Amino acid sequence: MRRLAAAALLLFLLAPAVVRADLLQPGDSFPSWTLPDQTGTPLSSSQLAGTRYLIWFYPKAMTPGCTAEGQGLRDQFAKFQQAGVKIYGVSFDVPADNARFVAAEQFPFSLLSDTQRELARQVGAADSSTQPVARRISYLVGADGKVIKRYDNVTPATHATDVLVDLK
C-alpha cells in the first residue's frame, strides 16, 4: 500500500501543469483566509490589507523542487522587500513540518499550513480535500486584495526571478 501511495504522489508531482479555466485571473479578488504559520500562530489576509504579497503553494516541505523554489525566494528576499512585497508559502504540511523546513533553509518568510485544503481549493492549488499535496501555483496579490498576476506554470529554480521581473 505504501508503494502505491508513493507512486501516486510521484506521478502527481511529475505531472505537467495543466492550464485550468477555474483559476483566479488578474483583477479577481483573492479569497479571504486565515492559516497557521510554522509556529502555529494564525495569520489572515485581513492582517495584510494594504500590503502586496506573493503567496506560493508548494507540494511538500523539504522535497527537492520545493526546496529549490524556497531557496530562490530566500536568496532574493531583499529585492522583494525593496519592492514592498511580502512572501508566504503554503502547503498541506502541519506547522511542525513547516517549522523544520524554515529552520533547515533559514527562510526569512513564513510558511502556512492549509491542512484542510480550503484556500488551496479556492485558488486552484487543490481539487479536493483529500488531494495529497498542493499544486505548484503562486499568486501576486495587490495591496487592494486583488490578484496582480497568477503563476501556474512555475519552474522552482527560476520562480523568484520570474516574479521580480514582473515587479519592475
Residues marked as catalytic: 66
- Cell 485581513 identifies what position? 46
Distances (CA, A) of 119 to 83, 113, 116, 139: 25, 10, 8, 12
Please name which of 92, 146, 145, 87 lies closest in space to residue 118, comparing C-alpha atoms.
92
Strands, DSSP E only, in 6-164?
A: 34-36, 42-44, 52-57, 85-91, 110-113, 137-141, 147-151
Residue 123 — φ and ψ, nearest 5°? Answer: -115, 5
For 74, the grid coordinates are 530566500
Q: How far is CA 142 from the centre of its chain?
A: 16
130 near 120, Cβ under 8 Å? no
